[in-house]
Structure 1
């Protein structure tokens, strides 16, 4: 269960300070959400982005994070995965969030940048791996795009993804953003895998 800052128990008990200072999740990665996320990601149904984004906006702490005017950045896919899928589900969530925020009452826009981060290589399947093995797999996988380094410098960056399991992807992406000069990194995800799964 997240604490007041949106941190889960695993992050609170780690001796090193987490690269992601706050992570907000809308739902648990369990039925029916796991089935709907699979349709969103793997069955060419990007239309799920808007209802998922609405649930993300309704999650505690989301509005407060967005009111800090962060630079909102999706977790990137490799070029090969993007070619297979035809879209990045994390970017679809960012676009849906942006549309909901601009059309809301009151409206509050935020900056977003699809290519702030790049994924340098494909990683082996991580579904069965624990956090430490996932971190090893992801070492050096993310980098800030060199053309966007100035936009990251000193900013609060909000990473967006569909699912977080151990937090390894968010952690390594946040480290790359911090190395590029981001002052603070938070995360907003649609679903978080419960600790017992």
Structure 2
């Protein structure tokens, strides 16, 4: 049974018509359906940790956690911090099947990454979406990380390998757990189906939001142990530490 929707049809109106801005209904006047004023007012992530992209008061620094122990992934690329209206757009895409919003966010993430590649960020050989638990996939009907990865793959001309990572068991939702419980929750939860496909290669994990980074750390360690030379993380938004604005 195919759970994933057919992406090119699900967002046909968004990509094949001259639409107004999806946020304010004014003419977008851009290739993607968001106007320049609305795009400029998104919560762009400026100052952040140079490894995990945690919002910080200054740019170019390491957060305390990365300074104490370097993560298994090399770098996180996220255009926005998890604030209004990006948080609402992600929620509507993720939980309310509003796929045109997800397509818009993916396109802007693709534009962001294209700019970063031009600045010298190494291009990965493969995009790997974070896998979803089977039970949750059946309930929701689609994996938003898989959709983002396939849209990015088409825009950036980088292959997407959706089946290289799999989830071995269903686990409680990470949003309900603190950092320590998240690590316990994900112990032995993932597997790499074909280590030869990543041997000596640079790969990038794709997800919607990076919160504590626990899932990214577990998957990056699995990929590095499986032979990947470098693992980056591409996501739409990065949350601040709990209690921080």
Same fold flag (TM > 0.5): yes
Rounded Cα–Cα distance in structure 1 between residues aligned with 2:65 and 2:77: 13
Answering whether residue 134 of structure 2 is matched by residue 79 of structure 1, we say yes
Contact 2:125 2:202 in 1 (8 A): yes
Could you state the TM-score of these two structures normalised by the residue count of structure 2? 0.69
The size of the alignment, in residue pairs, is: 187
For the 8 Å contact 2:206–2:235, the answer to whether it is kept is yes
- The Cα RMSD (Å) is 2.2
Give the alignment of 1:49-88 within 5 angstroms. Answer: 49-59=102-112, 62-63=116-117, 68-88=123-143
SS in 2 for 1:44: coil
Tell me by how many angstroms 1:126 deviates.
Answer: 2.7
Aligned to 1:188, what secondary structure does the other structure show? strand
- Identify which of 170, 179, 184 aligns with 2:216: 170
Paired residues of 1:62 and 1:188 also in contact (CA < 8 A): no
The answer on 1:41 being equivalent to 2:94 is yes
- Structure 2 distance, partners of 1:150, 1:67, is 21
Tell me if the contact between 1:155 and 1:184 (Cα under 8 Å) persists in the aligned partners: yes
- SS of residue paired to 1:127: helix
Structure 1 residues not aligned, in runs of 5+: 102-108
Q: 1:22: Cα distance to partner? A: 0.2
* Cα distance, 1:119 vs structure 2: 0.9
Distance across 2 between alignment mates of 1:33 and 1:75 = 20
Aligned to 2:90, the other structure's residue is in SS state helix
Pick the structure with more strand per residue. Answer: 1
Over 3 Å counting, the alpha-carbon distance change for 1:83 and 1:89 in structure 2 is same
Tell me what 1:106 maps to. Answer: none
What CA deviation, in whole Å up to 9, does each residue of 1:60-100 have, x standing for no partner? Answer: 77435875242110000012211121211011111111222
1:85-96 matches, within 5 Å, as: 85-96=140-151
- Are the structure 2 counterparts of residues 4 and 194 from structure 1 closer, same or farther at C-alpha, using a change threshold of 3 Å? closer
Structure number with higher relative contact order (C-alpha < 8 Å, ≥ 6 residues apart): 1
1:126 is the counterpart of 2:174? yes
CA distance in 1, matches of 2:116, 2:162: 20
Question: Is the 2:131–2:143 contact (alpha carbons within 8 Å) kept by the matching residues of 1?
Answer: yes
